[in-house]
Amino acid sequence: MSALSELMNPRRVKIGLKAKDKEGVLKELVDLLDLPEENKEILLEALKRREELGSTGIGRGIAIPHSRSTVIDDIYLVIGVSKEGVDFDAVDGRPVHIFFLLVAPPNDPGSRYLIYLGRVAQLAKKVVENDVDYLSVETPEELIELLSSLEKE
C-alpha cells in the first residue's frame, strides 16, 4: 500500500479557504476534484449525508470529511486550510482550520479507502502532537512537503 503522500497533489490542496460554514467548505473542497458539475453535486450530497450521521470534525482544529460515491473512479485526498477557522460542529466545539477530504468509489478491492482513512487519522494526530504550524504555510507544495515529512516520522 502506498504512502498517503502519494495521494497528495498540489491541484487538490487549497490554502486560504473562503467558506464560512460546513457546506461551503465541503463545496470548496469538492470543487478541487476534476469532475463534471453534476457529479460534484452528487458527491457533495453524499458528504452532507455523512456529516448528518456525526461531524467529521475530530477536534483540535481538524476535520476529516469522507465518503464513498459512484461518481468517483479512484481514491482522492483533498486538503484545505482556513486561516480564520470554520464552525464544523467539531467534537470539541472549536473552529476547524485544516480539512482532509477523502473520497473513494464503493467498489474498493483491498479496502484501500479504510486503510487511507486510518492513515489520514494518524497524520492528523501527528499534526496535533507536533504542534505543526500549517497556518503559516503559503503554497500547496509547502503543505504537502510538511505533511509528507510528518508521515515519514
CA pseudo-torsion sign 116, 78, 45, 95: positive
* Whether the Cβ atoms of residue 55 and residue 118 lie closer than 8 Å to each other: no
**List of residues 6+ apart from 6 with CB closer than 8 A:** none
**List of residues 6+ apart from 94 with CB closer than 8 A:** 59, 60, 61, 85
Does the active-site annotation cover 66?
yes
The single residue of 12, 14, 22, 66 carrying the catalytic annotation is 66
DSSP 6: G
Q: What cell was used for 46?
A: 453524499
Q: Which helix (H) or strand (E) holds 103?
A: strand 96-104
Question: Which residues have a catalytic role annotated?
Answer: 66
